[in-house]
Amino acid sequence: QTVLVASDTHPDGYPTVEAVKYFGQLVSERTAGRYSVDVKFGAQLGQEADTVEQVRAGAIAINRTSLGPWNGLVKQTIVPSLPYIFKSTAHARSVMSGPVGDEILAAFEPYGVIGLAFYDGGARSFYTSEKQITSVADLKGMKLRTMQSDIFVDMMAAFGATATPMPYGEVYSAIETGVVDGAENNFPSYDTAKHSEVAKFYTLDEHLIVPEVLVISKMVWDGISPEDQAVIRQAAKDSVAKQYELWDAKVAESRKIVEGSGSTIVEVADKQAFVDAVKPVYDKYAADPELKALIEKIQAAE
Amino acid sequence: MTAARPRLRKLGRALSALSTAALYLAGFFLVLMTLFVGWQVFTRYVLNWSNAWTEPAAVFLMSWFIFLGSAVGIRENYHLGFDVLLYVLPRSGKKYLRTISDLVVLAFALGMVVYGMQLVLLSWAARMPTLGIPEGAKYISVVAGGALIVIFALERLVLRWSGVDIDADVNLDLDAVPDAGTVKEV
Amino acid sequence: MELWVLFGTFVLLMLIGTPIAFCLGVAAFATALYMKLPPLVIFQQLNSGMNIFTLLAVPFFIYAGDLMVRGGIAQRIIDFASSLIGHVRGGMGQVNIATATLFGGISGSAVAEAAAVGGLMIPQMKARGYGADYAVNVTSMAALIALLIPPSHNMIIYSISAGGKISIADLFTAGIIPGLLFALVLMLTAYVVARRRGYPTEPFPGFRRVGYLFLVSLPGLLLIAIIFGGVRSGVFTASESSCIAVFYALLVTVLVYRRMGWRDFVHATMGAVRTTSMVLLIIGTAAAFSYLMARLSVPALMIDFLNDISSDPLMILLLLNVLMLLLGTFMDMGPMIIITTPIFLPVVQAYGIDPVHFGVIMILNLGIGLNTPPVGAVQFVACAVGKITVWQAMRSIWPFYGASLVVLGLVTYIPEISLWLPRLFRGT
Ligand code: NA
Ligand code: NA
């Protein structure tokens, strides 16, 4: 009778939270109740960077985060975080649930956690208040709020735009008042954070299709019998399809809402131009031969 | 203070210097934080480019500033307390309660040193985004602040049990800091 | 049992007068040891609870306040305001609330508000013979207006916690009338208390004098316009505006009033270090304490008890209000919103209560919790600025608690107070 405490920073009901709950349900059923999962959602146990340290130290058993907070630790996680690394959501899913995904999961182990599975964190695109982005040239000189990550800063520099970091809670009024020209995120966040109220142009450039990762603390893992370990691994893999299904429904719902409330979805005419523009970002990270090999594997995969 | 033995007085002077140094360093960090955020606004609005480093750097300095200032607060006794019981207890009882409080502070500060160190080691391998320094660096302030609090809490314990009346009132050079946000206890 | 360790240690240490930051920290530390959690998690939360960029507004507004007080800005603004409405009984209390309402349109943080307005007003009120407790209580209560009048970060947190089904624009608009109502009720309360205590009235000095004092105080008053205009026009964000306040205060005191020397500057800086490090340490240890509450499922336990009772929406709202007041007594606003919104909101929506309306109720309710010990960040700031203990403030805070509960009752049971304006804006 062991309760595994899990953290997820999204609110209750969010696809990742529901997927972790589903995973817990499977674990509980298949271990005849020897293990269960208590999901602490809504960043109750801290922001992602905090929970990464907690799961490494064994303070929590299971953690679901984006790859961002792992970038500075597990260098292999940088590759799926690169802009335009995946051709499409389908490509991303097939790569991350295949052998390349398993290779990246295995890279977590030296850092005190066992990688269990990758979820879909959605495709992130730019949205702006005044000027539509239809080409790379439109991005030049724009001030856009991005996540606090080196890859983002490098990508924005490559576009000739300015990455403007600021707390998430300030983004809405920063767009409204023009402190920034816009921001970038996936459809559900664009909708739920209400940024669609102030930034009407959503450009479908999909610069980032970023997987999310489910890990278990190695300290906890080592105390689990090999049979139960296998059950937990399989349950995690089995929760992935469920997460995809929930995620797709969420994206469709959010997209419908923002379109209904008057957002313009802008298609980019020449996506290859965006891909070409971020080449300097690849040059920087592909300097590492291991990462270079990984990049090539992903690009070669179907 | 005058009643104390000369060795204690010498120690007190050394710790005064340490406390003043910590206070001035915290003040310097406050000024630096102001400059960083000001620079962030200036570059974005006037020069039309953004610094990614100003925000994490200001936040990084803030925790140093808080722990240094808090440690000085232990020595100068300006932390907020809720001292209902101290009103009703006789003076001798107060001495024991104050001792317990200082021991509690000491225990927490030791935790800051020990577990702060664990945090530094745990996250040293990770890189902080933007700043590029080890993630563990953000916990050095916990260790340093904890160490200062340990020293100042020990000083209070030693002084009290050497017969120095440190609980009578706030021990502050009020002339030097007339508008400091000091809070008198009791 | 873990809960007993957590709360028992906390209450015991508080009673013997241990500084509150350490009551919270050690209670969390002891509970982690008892639960065999790696204790480093407590010290991690201590650090990350205070490492939030938006929190920089706290030291900056306190610092700007110190500079304004030392550099003569505060004095001139208050001279002007006092000449204007000082002839009302206890006029400085009214000036305090009016100023807080204006500042509320600039900042969304009640803590920063208490620091800014308190730093300005409390020393002046004390100098004019007002009790420090009165000045502190008026300040800490008036600071809550900032939570209701836009901008309000907490409303954004609420909207996100609600899974994004709620428009932030609507929430912002919904807060305006409750915010102004709160200001009005506080002014009435402050007036009654001031009358009972016989606080001074000052003779009306005549319009010539008022005009003169206005001109003299104009450089200071411009700060409000600069901050407001800067935020509205997008030169800087709300939390950056606190830093601009520091720069502007320095500019005016050094160049215009020529009152600020190097020595004054150093003293103001050290004063700000002392005040804010103490307050922010409490915010850090409160984060560690909250972490354990979340791990011990305290909010969920509270909800279980609610499920057994009632089918009447009025009753549910009453219960939720009591529950939030209880939780708000012990917990900080941000985590409270994030934890309770997903649990409470489905309940109230099932009873047909508008989520925008409930958001305003929650913000006001948890805002009151910022003024209740043991975990009351706004009250701590106001007490620190006023140089009194929380205990001293508590002895005369009751009329103000009463006033805020009256407003909470009105806002809870008359949805139109919140919903009329957003509907007007949407044209529905
Ligand atoms: Na506000
Ligand atoms: Na409270």
The pLDDT score that the predictor gives to residue C163 is 55
The pLDDT score that the predictor gives to residue C154 is 78
- Partner residue opposite B52 with nearest CB, options A53, A141, A163: A163
A180 → chain C, closest CA residue: C234
Tens digit of each residue's pLDDT (9 = 90 or more) over C241-258: 778 888 988 888 888 888
Amino acid letter at C31? Answer: T
The pLDDT score that the predictor gives to residue B178 is 27
Residue B172 has pLDDT above 50, yes or no: no
The pLDDT score that the predictor gives to residue B175 is 29
Q: B55 contacts in A (CB within 8 Å)? A: 148, 165-166
pLDDT band per the 50, 70, 90 thresholds, residue C289? confident
The pLDDT score that the predictor gives to residue B185 is 22
The pLDDT score that the predictor gives to residue B86 is 62
Residue at B133 is within a domain: yes
Contact A268, A274 (CB under 8 A): yes
Amino acid letter at A229? Answer: Q
The residue-averaged pLDDT of C39-68 equals 83
- Per the model's pLDDT, the better-predicted residue between A42 and B61 turns out to be B61
Among B76-85, C171-180, C286-295, name the one with the lowest average pLDDT: B76-85
DSSP assignment of C118-133: HHHHHHHHHHTT--HH
Buried b (16+ CB within 10 A) or exposed e, B86-112: beebeeeebeebbeebbebbbbbbbbb
The pLDDT score that the predictor gives to residue C182 is 97
Helix or strand run (H / E) with residue A65: strand A62-66
Q: The dihedral of CA A198, A203, A207, A211: what is its sign? A: positive
Residue C42 C-beta-side C-alpha neighbours within 13 Å: 30
Q: C74 contacts in B (CB within 8 Å)? A: none
Query: What's the CA-to-centroid distance between C143 and ligand 2, angstroms?
Result: 14
The residue-averaged pLDDT of C177-197 equals 94
Question: Cβ A73–B127 below 8 Å, yes or no?
Answer: yes
Whether B37 has its CB under 8 Å from any CB of chain C: the answer is: yes
Domain range spanning residue B116? 4-173
The pLDDT score that the predictor gives to residue C133 is 94
The residue-averaged pLDDT of B101-127 equals 94
Q: Which residue has the tokens 């409930």?
A: C358
The pLDDT score that the predictor gives to residue A57 is 94
- Partner residue opposite B108 with nearest CB, options C29, C50, C373: C29
Q: Which of residues 14-33 of C touch B (CB under 8 A)?
A: 14-23, 25-26, 29
Question: Cβ B50–A57 below 8 Å, yes or no?
Answer: no
A145 strand-pairing partners: A164, A183
% pLDDT > 70, chain A: 99
DSSP assignment of A221-244: HTTS-HHHHHHHHHHHHHHHHHHH
Tens digit of each residue's pLDDT (9 = 90 or more) over C205-226: 889 998 998 898 888 778 767 7
Tens digit of each residue's pLDDT (9 = 90 or more) over A82-125: 999 999 999 999 999 999 999 999 999 999 999 999 999 999 99
Residue A268 neighbours by CB distance under 10 Å: 19
The residue-averaged pLDDT of B100-107 equals 95
Closest residue by Cα to residue C117 from C381, C407, C398, C396: C381
The pLDDT score that the predictor gives to residue A194 is 79
DSSP assignment of C183-226: HHHHHHHHHHHHHHHT--------HHHHHHHHHHHHHHHHHHHH
Q: What tokens appear for B183 in the block?
A: 């809070």
Residue at B184 is within a domain: no
Tens digit of each residue's pLDDT (9 = 90 or more) over B28-41: 999 999 999 999 88
Nearest ligand to the CA atom of C104: 1
Among A295-299, B90-94, C34-38, C171-175, name the one with the lowest average pLDDT: B90-94
Whether B183 has its CB under 8 Å from any CB of chain C: the answer is: yes
Contact B179, C69 (CB under 8 A): yes
SS3 A148: coil
Q: How far apart are the first and last CA of chain C?
A: 53
% pLDDT > 90, chain C: 26
Output DSSP code: residue C257. S
Contact C132, C396 (CB under 8 A): no
Residue partners of B125: CB distance under 8 A and separation at least 6: A73, A111, B134, B135, B136
Neighbours of chain A (3+ CB pairs under 8 A): B, C
The Cα–Cα gap between C372 and C364 comes to 13
- Partner residue opposite A150 with nearest CB, options B44, B50, B129: B129
The pLDDT score that the predictor gives to residue C105 is 61
Whether C44 has its CB under 8 Å from any CB of chain A: the answer is: yes
Question: Cβ B44–A179 below 8 Å, yes or no?
Answer: yes
Residue C205 neighbours by CB distance under 10 Å: 16
Alpha-carbon distance C340 to nearest alpha carbon in chain B (angstroms): 28
Best of B50, B119, B130, B138 to disrupt the A interface (most A CBs within 10 Å) is B50
Question: Cβ B183–C273 below 8 Å, yes or no?
Answer: no
Residue at B181 is within a domain: no
The pLDDT score that the predictor gives to residue B106 is 97
The residue-averaged pLDDT of C340-351 equals 75
Among A78-82, B130-134, C53-57, name the one with the lowest average pLDDT: C53-57
Angle between helices B140-161 and C40-50 (to 10 degrees): 100
Neighbours of ion ligand 1 (CB under 5 A): C 104, 108, 146, 149, 152
Query: What's the CA-to-centroid distance between A100 and ligand 1, angstroms?
Result: 49
Tens digit of each residue's pLDDT (9 = 90 or more) over A143-196: 899 877 888 888 999 999 988 877 676 787 788 878 889 999 999 889 877 788
Whether B92 has its CB under 8 Å from any CB of chain A: the answer is: no
% pLDDT > 90, chain B: 48
Whether C47 has its CB under 8 Å from any CB of chain A: the answer is: no
Nearest ligand to the CA atom of C172: 1
Residue B142 has pLDDT above 90, yes or no: yes
Output DSSP code: residue C149. S
The residue-averaged pLDDT of C124-149 equals 90
- Structural domain count of chain B: 1
Whether B125 has its CB under 8 Å from any CB of chain A: the answer is: yes
Burial (Cβ within 10 Å: 0-12, 13-18, ≥19) of residue B140 = middle
Residue at B129 is within a domain: yes
Question: Cβ C159–A50 below 8 Å, yes or no?
Answer: no
Question: Cβ C46–B142 below 8 Å, yes or no?
Answer: yes
Residue C101 has pLDDT above 80, yes or no: no
Residue partners of C263: CB distance under 8 A and separation at least 6: none
Q: C284 contacts in B (CB within 8 Å)? A: 66
Query: What's the CA-to-centroid distance between C145 and ligand 1, angstroms?
Result: 7
A115 strand-pairing partners: A215
The pLDDT score that the predictor gives to residue A275 is 93
Residue B3 has pLDDT above 60, yes or no: no
Q: What tokens appear for B97 in the block?
A: 């309660």
Amino acid letter at A14? Answer: Y
Query: What's the CA-to-centroid distance between B143 and ligand 1, angstroms?
Result: 36
Residue at B29 is within a domain: yes
Alpha-carbon distance C169 to nearest alpha carbon in chain A (angstroms): 8
The pLDDT score that the predictor gives to residue C66 is 74
The pLDDT score that the predictor gives to residue A211 is 93
Alpha-carbon distance B52 to nearest alpha carbon in chain A (angstroms): 6
The Cα–Cα gap between C150 and C359 comes to 13
Whether A80 has its CB under 8 Å from any CB of chain C: the answer is: no
Q: Which residue has the tokens 């953000």?
A: B138
pLDDT band per the 50, 70, 90 thresholds, residue C294? confident
Contact C351, C358 (CB under 8 A): no
pTM for the model: 0.80
pLDDT band per the 50, 70, 90 thresholds, residue A19? very high
The Cα–Cα gap between A55 and A61 comes to 6
Residue B181 has pLDDT above 60, yes or no: no
The pLDDT score that the predictor gives to residue A23 is 97
Question: Cβ C278–B79 below 8 Å, yes or no?
Answer: yes
Alpha helices in B77-178 (DSSP H): 84-88, 91-122, 140-161
